């Protein structure tokens, strides 16, 4: 009989020649457990998803309650479905005034697609400005605004009229013009290895967009919901986007994304032609029920407020001469090492010793540190000890 691993390799599509091949049976809190009961601490939250850790009881309850009522009823935007309505109401209540209309999608990439389309429709313009080293997803539109040639070159032709600019370069802002429909930027760049814009730069970018009438799209698919120590990352910069992109932690472990804008901007989807963006499963009722419960937990348990102290603890326990830098904000950190080869060896040792981490798509010499926000002080200290020991083992 074939093992699960063999079946996985035979029948499940593979996207690399070297999948991790870890097999987990269950997950709870910050831990995932394999078939032998070995615990692995999750330092990457399933790539920015599990902000509440795994198997939060309130989220599970909300899912179970919704499953008993109904699952899919109709394509997005026709029926008044309680979980979608209540979730949008809650989201809008915690956002700046202009972010009042929530379009739920299936994924982050679909939120990117929807937002780019909306910006074109609202402005009547065709050009887009995006950033070098950015990551916005893997569909054609999202690839078109990805700032990494290696990952997108095989898929051309992509969207025309996309200009790339560099983070924190004020001169480049002149490339945002009256022809620009929108600028899309990760509020904090994730896959670039956690790169932060300067506050003055973000404010100048906001001003430039407003001046030329281009919509500012902030991709917080990775950075929102407390990950950086604020509920939304744009709060670090004292700016507000025209369109906000959410996914990952939005669903509390279930798949849902969203793009959020003013009602006036969103209304462009209603005419010429109608149905400006269509999705069958976007805002699935079970995912929205989970997302609402997750947001309530995040707020009730004051998890965001705890992030800065946890960041400090992490940084303090990761002292080693081989660490060149620890970039980032809150629990969205990149630990920079000399090379990919060294990083990979350290990561493999960490995993063997029960600590899950990885590297970044556009920055292979940095290790991702993005644990669930619920991680305790003791868990941080223990995980840091494993990481530091692995660094020592491969650099001594
Ligand atoms: N934007 C950012 C900043 C992301 O990190 C990701 C996913 N890593 C996406 C968009 C795409 O999201 P998804 O994988 O859900 O399509």
Mean pLDDT of 16-42: 97
CATH number, residue 347:
3.90.1150.10
Please answer whether residues 120 and 181 qualify as being in contact, where contact means their C-beta atoms are separated by less than 8 angstroms.
yes
> How far is ligand 1, taken at its centre, from the CA of residue 319, in Å?
30
Q: Which residues are bridge partners to 245 per DSSP? A: 219, 259
pLDDT at 199: 98
Give the CATH number, domain containing residue 231: 3.40.640.10
Taking each helix axis as running N to C, give the angle between helix 285-300 and helix 82-93, from 0 to 180 degrees, rounded to the nearest 10: 30
pLDDT for residue 289: 99
Q: Which of 300, 330, 356 is the last residue of a domain?
A: 300
- Could you tell which of 136, 143, 250 is best to mutate to test the pocket of ligand 1, judged by most ligand atoms within 8 Å of the CB? 136
Mean pLDDT for 253-278 is 97
Distance CA 340, CA 345 (A): 9
- The tens digit of pLDDT for each residue in 236-264 reads 999 999 999 999 999 999 999 999 999 99
Which of 270, 300, 330 is the last residue before a domain boundary?
300
How far, in Å, is the centroid of ligand 1 from the Cα of 242?
19
With 90 as the cut, is the pLDDT of residue 205 above it? Answer: yes
Q: pLDDT of 154-195, one tens digit each? A: 999 999 999 999 999 999 999 999 999 999 999 999 999 999
Listed residues 278, 300, 322: the one ending a domain: 300
CA atoms within 13 A on the CB side of 314: 29
Task: Provide DSSP, 325-353.
Answer: EEEEETTEEEEE-S-HHHHHHHHHHHHHT
Check residue 384 and give its pLDDT.
98
Which residue's CA is the closest to the ligand 1 atom numbered 15? Answer: 108
Atom of ligand 1 nearest to the CA of 107: 15
Phi-psi region of 314 (alpha: psi -120 to 50; beta: other; left: phi over 0): alpha
151 and 77 within one domain: yes
pLDDT tens digit sequence for 126-147: 999 999 999 999 999 999 999 9
Which protein residues touch ligand 1 with a CB less than 6 Å away?
47, 107-109, 112, 135-137, 186, 190, 219, 221-222, 247
Q: Are residues 294 and 309 in the same domain?
A: no
Confidence category of residue 63, pLDDT binned at 50, 70, 90: very high
CA of 109 to the centre of ligand 1 (A): 6
Instruction: Work out which ligand 1 atom sits closest to the CA atom of 112.
Output: 10
Asked if 331 and 313 sit in the same domain, the reply is: yes
pLDDT higher than threshold 90 for residue 396: no
Domain that holds residue 194: 57-300
Is the same domain home to 388 and 334? yes
Number of domains in the chain: 2
Tell me the per-residue pLDDT of 89-104, one tens digit each, with 9 for 90 and over: 999 999 999 999 999 9
pLDDT at 110 over 90: yes
Alpha helices in the chain (DSSP H): 4-11, 45-48, 57-69, 82-93, 108-123, 140-144, 149-152, 199-212, 263-266, 285-300, 303-316, 340-352, 377-395
The Cα diameter of the chain in Å comes to: 66
pLDDT reported for residue 186: 98
Residues 18 and 44 in one domain: yes
- Asked if residue 315 and residue 275 are part of one domain, the reply reads no
Phi/psi at 245 (5° precision): -110, 130
């Amino acid at each position: 009989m074939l093992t699960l691993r063999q079946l996985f390799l035979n029948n499940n599509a593979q996207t690399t020649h070297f999948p991790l091949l870890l097999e987990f049976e269950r997950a709870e809190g910050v831990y995932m457990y394999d078939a032998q009961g070995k615990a692995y601490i999750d330092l990457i939250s399933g790539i920015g998803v599990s902000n509440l850790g795994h198997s939060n009881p309130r989220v599970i309850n909300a899912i179970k309650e919704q499953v008993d009522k109904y699952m899919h009823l109709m394509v997005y935007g026709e029926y008044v479905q309680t979980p979608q309505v209540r979730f949008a109401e809650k989201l809008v209540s915690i956002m700046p005034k202009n972010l009042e209309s929530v379009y739920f999608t299936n994924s982050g990439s679909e939120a990117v697609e929807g937002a780019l389309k909306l910006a074109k429709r609202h402005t009547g313009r065709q050009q887009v400005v995006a950033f070098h080293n950015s990551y916005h997803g893997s569909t054609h539109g999202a690839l078109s605004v990805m700032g990494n040639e290696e990952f997108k070159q095989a898929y051309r032709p992509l969207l025309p009229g996309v200009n790339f600019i560099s983070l924190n370069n004020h001169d480049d802002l002149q490339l945002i013009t009256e022809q620009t429909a929108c600028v899309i930027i990760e509020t904090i760049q994730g896959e670039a290895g956690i790169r932060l814009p300067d506050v003055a730069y973000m404010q100048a970018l906001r001003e430039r967009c407003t001046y030329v009438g281009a919509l500012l799209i902030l991709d917080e698919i990775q950075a929102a919901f407390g990950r950086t120590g604020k509920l939304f990352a744009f709060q670090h910069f004292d700016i507000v986007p025209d369109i906000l992109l959410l996914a990952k932690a939005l669903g509390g472990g279930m798949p849902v994304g969203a793009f959020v804008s003013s009602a006036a901007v969103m209304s462009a989807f209603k005419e010429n032609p109608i149905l400006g963006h269509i999705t069958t499963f976007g805002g699935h009722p079970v995912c929205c029920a989970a997302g609402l419960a997750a947001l309530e937990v995040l707020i009730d348990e004051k998890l965001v407020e705890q992030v800065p102290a946890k960041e400090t603890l992490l940084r303090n326990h990761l002292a080693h001469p081989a660490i060149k830098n620890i970039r980032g904000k809150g629990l969205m950190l990149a630990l920079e090492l000399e090379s990919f080869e060294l990083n990979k060896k350290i990561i493999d040792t960490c995993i063997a010793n029960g600590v899950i981490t990885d590297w970044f798509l556009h920055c292979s010499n940095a290790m991702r540190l993005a644990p669930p926000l619920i991680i305790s002080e003791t868990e941080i200290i223990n995980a840091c000890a494993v990481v530091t020991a692995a660094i020592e083992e491969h650099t001594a």
